[in-house]
Amino acid sequence: MNVVIIKYNAGNIHSVVHGLRRIGVEPLVTDDKALIRAADKVIFPGVGEASSTMAYLREHGLDTLIKSLTQPVLGICIGLQLMCRHSEEGDTACLGIFDADVKRFLPQRHEDKVPHMGWNTLTNLQTPLFEGVGTGDYVYYVHSYYAAFCEQTIARTDYLHPYSAALHKDNFFATQFHPEKSSVAGERVLTNFMQL
């Protein structure tokens, strides 16, 4: 299978490469549009800041390319946020694939730490992406911004309040958590994505 990871100005892409190797997939990391279009599966990962990553995608024509893809696409972390309509981070207009807006976590008490970092649970799981993953299974998060609930929410996590742990529309899937760092549950999500 031909799996491409979109190369752009976001960090943490290496850990996704390693995560895919662990499930027996050797991905190609590229920003070549023809190669991305020709892939069987496309992964749009990364850790970064919304306005600078979005500006980079526009400058390189990757914004229109991503929206036009028809094969299964998996956004991870900032990838999920950039696939939403708008992000509060840098007041950024995003790709608008999902009908959700991205907001910053607002701590209510001193103990409420931002970023939300560590292991938290999944509930309300939907779609074959979560086949074999159970309600209450833990996944690993590192993020300060979250996507609100919308009709495309396919998994929920509670931190300060409920938010979208994952989203789905047509061929587009995205997780706010890092499946490549989420032990058995995360490997299951990656494997499920490869079988879509």
Partner 1 sequence: MLAKRIIPCLDVKDGQTVKGVNFVNFRHAGDPVELGHQYSIQGADELVFLDITASHEGRKTFVDMVRKVADRVSIPFTVGGGINELKDVDVLLNAGADKVSINSAALRNPGLIDEVSAHFGSQVCVVAIDANLEDNLWRCYLNGGRIPTDKDLFGWAREAQERGAGEILFISMTHDGVKKGYPNEALATLADNLNIPVIASGGAGKREHFRDAFQLGKADAALAASVFHFGEISIPELKTYLKNEGVTVRL
What are the catalytic residues? Answer: 77, 178, 180
- Of the pair 64, 183, the CB lying nearest partner 1 is at 183
Interface with partner 1 (CB under 8 A), residue from 40, 58, 184, 195: 184
* DSSP codes, 63-77: HHHHHH--S-EEEET
What is the CA angle 65-66-69, rounded to 5?
85
Closest listed residue to residue 88, CA positions, set 145, 158, 163: 145
Alpha-carbon distance 156 to 164, whole Å?
5
Kindly write out the interface string for residues 109-148 of this chain, putting x where it contacts partner 1 by CB under 8 A and - elsewhere. Answer: -xx-xxxxxxxxx----------------x-x-x------
**Given the rule CB under 8 A, which of 16-24, 30-38, 55-63, 92-100 is the region that contacts partner 1?**
16-24
How many residues belong to the chain?
196
Q: How many residues bind partner 1 (CB under 8 A)?
A: 35
Which phi and psi (to 5°) does residue 44 adopt? -120, 85
Using CB under 8 A as the binding rule, whether residue 188 contacts partner 1 is answered as no
CB 59, min distance to partner 1, A: 20
What is the CA angle 170-118-41, rounded to 5?
30
CB 65, min distance to partner 1, A: 25
- Of the pair 114, 194, the CB lying nearest partner 1 is at 114
Count of Cβ atoms closer than 10 Å to residue 170 Cβ: 11
Residues at the site binding partner 1, with contacts judged by CB under 8 A: 11-12, 14-15, 18-19, 21-22, 47-48, 107, 110-111, 113-121, 138, 140, 142, 158-159, 178, 180-184, 186-187
